[in-house]
Amino acid sequence: MWSMVVSVPLLPAVVMVLGRYRVEVAALSHRALAWALRLLRGAPCVRSAHAFVFSNCTHGKVDSVLETFDLYADTHPSLCISPQIAEALDAAVKRVRPSRVLELGMHCGYASVRLLRLLPPAGRLITVEMDPLAGELGEEVILVAGFKPSQFQVLPCSSAEAIPTLHPFLESDDGTGDGLDLVLMDHDPQQYLPDLLALEREELLSASGCSLLLIYRNQRAEDHREILDHIRGRPGSYCIGSELQFMLEISYRKEKHDGI
């Protein structure tokens, strides 16, 4: 009773604070909800996803590996891209027809397998995963899907560590360096801009054009804004391809007079 008497006069202040920090409060409740859901359903588990796919798919059959992943995600929490993102990713890869692809954030290898199946025979995927267990199990999934070690490279480290070491992986057999045609970022939105800057600095993006696909799972406007400011400030090099709710596609092309 007393607490009610005390709290009623505070109500306007609480409403004002809630209004002022609307975005923060919404983000906080979103996170609390995600946390509660995870408690109820269990955390996404790389070991369990791997075991399910490994023992239930037909080895050597790409489509079976992907279908088994989908089956797993129907009944378990999963960090793999959703069917909606997968469809958008496939469409982008078919349009760009890349041969050198970088994936940041491999997890169990689901998106890696999707990417690899669309590459030309001489194509190559470099995929980076900082969780060593996920890196190991993801690599096994790629092999189970039937891809050869010459078609991909798993780098078990953070994106920031991996990027400066990428040059040798991009060299052709004749020793000439080809840049990346496509980069998929699905690791940590806070890293998207620093990693993009590092890729530019290291001149790893193909001079003839590169598509960058940035995945946003939890909608956070501020994550978009930083990177959008950067690319809008460089109209000679970048243009925004498509801006889906969960995926931002950016096209890069090297320009001589960029005014940096």
Ligand X SMILES: *[C@@H]1O[C@H](CO)[C@@H](O)[C@H](O)[C@H]1NC(C)=O
Ligand Y SMILES: C[S@@+](CC[C@H](N)C(=O)[O-])C[C@H]1O[C@@H](n2cnc3c(N)ncnc32)[C@H](O)[C@@H]1O
For residue 180, the cross-strand partners are 205
Report the alpha-carbon distance of residue 134 to residue 78 in Å, rounded.
13
Choose between 69 and 192: whose C-beta lies nearer to ligand X: 69
Report the alpha-carbon distance of residue 43 to residue 147 in Å, rounded.
29
By CB under 6 A, tell whether 55 contacts ligand X: yes
User: Interface with ligand X by CB under 6 A: which range of 29-37, 47-55, 176-184, 252-260?
Assistant: 47-55
**Nearest approach, Cβ of residue 70 and ligand X (Å):** 12
Q: What residue has token string 């953070």?
A: 158
Choose between 136 and 188: whose C-beta lies nearer to ligand X: 136
Instruction: Give me the 156-175 binding string for ligand Y, x by CB under 6 A, dash otherwise.
Output: --xx----------------
Report the alpha-carbon distance of residue 164 to residue 173 in Å, rounded.
20
Distance (Å) of CA 31 to CA 19, 28, 222:
18, 5, 16
Burial of residue 54 (CB within 10 Å: 0-12, 13-18, 19+) is middle
52 binds, among ligand Y, ligand X, none (CB under 5 to 8 A by kind): ligand X
Contacts 24+ apart (CB under 8 A), 225-233: 226/193, 227/192, 227/193, 227/196, 230/193, 230/196, 230/197
By CB under 6 A, tell whether 74 contacts ligand X: no
116 binds, among ligand Y, ligand X, none (CB under 5 to 8 A by kind): none
On the CB side of 260, how many CA atoms lie within 13 Å of its CA? 13
**Nearest approach, Cβ of residue 145 and ligand X (Å):** 17
**Nearest approach, Cβ of residue 80 and ligand X (Å):** 15
Which of 53, 73, 99, 105 lies at the binding interface for ligand Y (CB under 6 A)?
105
Instruction: Give me the 184-213 binding string for ligand Y, x by CB under 6 A, dash otherwise.
Output: --xxx--x----------------------
User: Interface with ligand X by CB under 6 A: which range of 51-59, 114-122, 125-133, 147-155?
Assistant: 51-59
By CB under 6 A, tell whether 79 contacts ligand Y: yes
Which of 50, 52, 109, 195 lies at the binding interface for ligand X (CB under 6 A)?
52
Q: What 3-state DSSP class applies to 242? A: strand
Which of 44, 56, 76, 178 lies at the binding interface for ligand X (CB under 6 A)?
56
> Phi and psi for 213 in degrees, rounded to 5?
-110, 115
* Residue ranges in contact with ligand X by CB under 6 A: 51-52, 55-56
